[in-house]
Copies of this chain bind each other. A is one copy, B any other.
Amino acid sequence: MHTFVQELKKSMFAEGLDDNELEKLCSIAESKTFFKSEKIFDEKDKTSSLYFLVEGRIRIERKAFPKRHLFIPQIQIVKHGQIFGEMAFLDNVPRSAIARAAGSVRVIIFDSEKLHQLLTMDANLGYKVMGNIARIISRRLRRMNDHWLSAVGSDFVIPEFEYSN
Residues of A that sit less than 8 Å from B by CB: 12, 62, 65, 68-71, 73-79, 81-82, 84, 86-87, 90-91, 96-97, 119-120, 123-124, 126-127, 130-131, 133-145, 147-154, 157-165
A126 partner residues in chain B, CB cutoff 8 A: 123, 126-127, 130-131
A103 to chain B minimum Cβ distance, whole angstroms, is: 15
Copy total for this chain: 2
- Verify A161–B90 contact, CB threshold 8 A: no
A120 to chain B minimum Cβ distance, whole angstroms, is: 7
In angstroms, Cα B143 to Cα A96, docked, is: 10
CB contact between A75 and one of B70, B154, B158 (< 8 Å): that residue: B158
